[in-house]
Chain A
């Protein structure tokens, strides 16, 4: 699949804001054998005084922009062309929970993909008894880890109503779980905690979702803004699988990865700081069009 992806994020400040500094994580991430980024552009207005690109601990591209002079609005535009290849199905034996736990006790690596980073806690995710209980109730302990991921994801999809008005970007996973409502960010956070409570390494993925379904397909939830889903580690041979609890599906060629992290705080598209007195309003729009 070939996609043309456009993202626009606009910030407006009630009072003018100076001395701003923002970290942007919005570019699709090159993934060998899966995602090839053939063209990309990140455009910020007003023109930043300084700008540089770097790669964070988890291997995500970060653009840093600073604005010294006061300004009343800022917009970030990202456009890119990405080629997605369908993942090859894993043919080896699928591990069960016990084997997974045993493989983790001998695992000893610090690299960005090491499952040990993803056992929790993380800045925004702390163990929660209710979510752990939900995980226990919806997991067949004799099933393979891959199957457990799907079981939990489906159960969560049934339990939580997608509702873009019920939560905000700062809502805590426990709170969203308690009210049984939320968006992709909440569903992903809850699912990560559920998986971790079973000792399954799990992380947060931010990215884009194709806007229009293929002919005969169903339009997915979460196409209007950046999307989020979950990755889970299923053993040393199988490695990471990605699952989208908002749409109750394993990730295929409709999802485009931007960043991997432990929770939202590791991958937020925009983290910013500026000196300003007034309120701030934000808007975001996304378009992911098929180009082939």
Chain B
């Protein structure tokens, strides 16, 4: 088959079915029990078979390219390091008919109502325990039941606003709920990205195939968020645990997509019972928070005292009903594995009817009869912690209580610590096709579906997020273990509505918030991003100038080179690696800063930075001959100029852009003052003035204005006080002054702020100075003035 793959034309259909092997005893999503293709798949399979292997490979690459460009990655953890890897999209969708999806939806909506009923009781009257429907110790010994939240009613009355459920199809063809994801239904953003990538892979099929679009779901959810906020007009934000979290990219993406601020715990403060966002314009009230931080970590005062990512006083603000939350803090108690043992009965009691969609059969071993059942049916059961929130089948931490392999030991363990254990039936999941080495292969899968509360009740996203195992093992879903993800297509009988993913119904809402607030922490990161990139650039220029002279035959001991090392390069050792570190380190820091502001920094900016860091580490690790250094560094400089171009050509003129640009300008002006103060000084060796022009990238401008010979006054003119040269101190001081004038709060009064006054004084001094007045002492003072201005700026806007 491999031999023929390149000769197959798109016109002669391939046969992908013959080699497709269903796993014995399992259901398959594409084939029915008799091995026939299900109607919902037929059209797609025909389409697939008309495409050659080469064509498919190109199409898959197109989807992957989109994901890379969009910055969709996952983080692989090894023992000590984490590495970003390409998003493992299985390029084939999982297909469900609209009829089947409707049936599943009805079951999930019922379950969402049930969960709301349960959580409201667990943090309210406690009747489920009082009436014996739930054992008390499921709460009292459960770390997810947060006592400080007992008695706290959500401001809008509902504990749950967004849910997701993991479901799987068992051998009898029926769907089961495998887990309830309450706290961080963290994949909603990835569903959008998967879908956009899939439209790049199968553009022709997708149009006109009656596949339901998912944009409408997000528009309604966004509308719900703005409705919840009500008339308060406070900020709407997504609370993330920050770039260290593996889902940070998704947090940033969905926040941007829905027009919400992206904040971390330290961005928020509680004043007088109100939660405020610290912004460059001072604290601004927050009225709704979509929480993606584990509940217990949200407030170090009342919840987990060891949390470093929380907001002190958040619980108090919730108690005073001053903030809307999606979802309520503490609602994750619903994810407790042992709860699944009791939900079916609670449902019958509450609805007077059984669950429409059963959950995976579970027994809590704190009760005598359940314990006996688990011991008796040990062979078809997994046993694990009652309080874990990970479904047993996916839990590598306690795979069937390996500590107790024998029947007697299991029995003893269950007798001793039954309250802390559950038994859960092992189920075999259905398979779905993936495309591997030119053929279709059946792999176990489960599906995550999303529900949002809207004014019209729970709405189910007509699409989903499938996890596909890397092998035949249902435990290999995790990306860490090679699992893949797939888009879920719900196919209707009729043509479907086609709202676009890119335009949102609540555009006016979005405009209202995006203009409003720039968190101080984000501004600080943008400011430092600018500073680090600029610092790297200056050091690259010094590095290039240094090795150009080495290549021309100068020795490391030559007066100019020794002077460069001691006066301009902080006494660096005369070794290429140490010198390269002087720009490698700031570039790493720049990338770090950029990662922390995922929502404000366009993916292409991040890519440009990543490329810079990659080129630098190439330079570091490869054994590049000396004579190649200038060429390699010129390449770096072109890349860094490209980055600066992105900043100035592509970024919206927001406050965020101003802080980034301010970082660049202040760093460049200060570095130039430092460079000049050394190179126009009395101790500077021969060639110092030419070096100043070279590092200041002003050779051409200089020769256009002055004679061919360099002299100190002319150098001080063009690199110091010239207001037209984008490499001069004056140019950047003036630019910084204009930015500062436009920052929030700077124009409210005729009395200048500290920072505005300081920069005006400095600009005036420079404007009034003759080039000959720029002595080393004066330049040294200019440099310290600039850093004082940076400090004043930080104090006024960034802390």
Contacts and interface: CB of A to CB of B under 8 A. Distances in A.
Interface of A: 19, 21, 23, 50, 54, 56-58, 64, 66, 68, 107-110, 114, 116-117, 119-121, 123, 265, 271-273
A110 B313 contact: no
Given A50-B272, A57-B150, A273-B301, A66 B136 contact: no
A113 to B, nearest CB: 12
A108 B304 CA distance: 26
Contacts of B143: 121
B305 A123 contact: yes
Interface in B290-336: 300-302, 304-305, 312-313, 316, 319
Given A265-B305, A271-B301, A21 B140 contact: no
Interface in B111-143: 126, 129-130, 132, 135-137, 139-141, 143
B141 A119 contact: yes
A116 B302 contact: no
A57 B147 contact: yes
A164 B550 CA distance: 65
A108 B136 contact: yes
B140 A119 contact: yes
A116 B305 contact: no
A27 B535 CA distance: 56
B271 interface: yes
A248 B29 CA distance: 68
Given A116-B141, A120-B141, A68 B271 contact: yes
Interface residues of B, number: 28
Contacts of B319: 54
Contacts of B316: 64
Contacts of B141: 116, 119-121
Interface in B395-425: none
Given A108-B129, A121-B141, 4 more contacts: A50-B273, A110-B130, A116-B137, A119-B140
B421 to A, nearest CB: 14
Interface in B535-565: none
B203 interface: no
Most-contacted residue by chain A among B137, B269, B302, B313 (CB, 10 A) = B137
Contacts of B130: 108-110
Interface string B148-190: 1010000000000000000000000000000000000000000
Contacts of B270: 21, 66
Contact of A116 (B136, B150, B272, B273): B136
A119 to B, nearest CB: 6
A114 B140 contact: yes
| Interface SS, B side | loop
Interface of B: 126, 129-130, 132, 135-137, 139-141, 143, 147-148, 150, 269-273, 300-302, 304-305, 312-313, 316, 319
A159 to B, nearest CB: 26
Contacts of A119: 137, 140-141
B305 A110 contact: no
Contacts of A123: 304-305
- Shortest Cβ-Cβ A-B pairs, 4 listed: A57-B147, A273-B312, A116-B140, A21-B312
Contacts, number: 60
Given A57-B148, A108-B136, A110-B139, A271 B129 contact: no
Contacts of A114: 136, 140
A68 B272 CA distance: 10
A58 B143 CA distance: 16
Most-contacted residue by chain A among B141, B143, B312, B313 (CB, 10 A) = B312
Contacts of A121: 141, 143
Contacts of A57: 147-148, 150
A114 B300 CA distance: 25
A127 B135 CA distance: 22
A74 to B, nearest CB: 15
Contacts of B302: 23
Nearest to B129: A110
Contacts of B271: 50, 66, 68
B489 to A, nearest CB: 45
Contacts of A107: 136
A271 B130 CA distance: 33
Contacts of B148: 56-57
Contacts of B132: 108
Nearest to B266: A275
Nearest to B269: A19
A104 to B, nearest CB: 9
A123 B313 CA distance: 19
Nearest to A118: B140
Contacts of A21: 270, 301, 312-313
Nearest to A110: B126
A107 to B, nearest CB: 7
Contact of A273 (B129, B139, B300): B300
Given A50-B272, A57-B147, A108-B132, A117 B305 contact: no
Nearest to A117: B140
A117 B140 CA distance: 5
B668 to A, nearest CB: 29
B144 to A, nearest CB: 13
A110 B140 contact: yes
Contacts of B312: 21, 273
Nearest to B141: A119
Contact of B136 (A54, A110, A120): A110
B537 to A, nearest CB: 31
A56 B136 CA distance: 19
B301 A23 contact: yes
Contacts of A68: 271
A108 B301 contact: no
Nearest to A107: B136
25 contacts: A19-B269, A23-B302, A50-B273, A54-B319, A56-B148, A57-B147, A64-B316, A66-B270, A107-B136, A108-B132, A108-B136, A109-B129, A110-B130, A110-B136, A110-B139, A114-B136, A116-B141, A119-B140, A121-B141, A121-B143, A265-B305, A271-B301, A272-B301, A273-B300, A273-B312
A220 B126 CA distance: 42
A48 to B, nearest CB: 11
A51 B316 CA distance: 12
Contacts of A56: 147-148
A120 B140 CA distance: 9
Nearest to B299: A273
Nearest to A57: B147
Nearest to A104: B137
A265 B271 CA distance: 24
A50 B130 CA distance: 38
A265 B300 CA distance: 11
Contacts of B305: 123, 265, 271
A240 to B, nearest CB: 16
A32 B316 CA distance: 28
Nearest to B300: A273
B283 to A, nearest CB: 10
A183 to B, nearest CB: 20
Most-contacted residue by chain B among A19, A56, A110, A265 (CB, 10 A) = A110
A108 B150 CA distance: 17
Contacts of B269: 19
Nearest to B135: A108
Contacts of B136: 107-110, 114, 116
Contacts of A50: 271-273
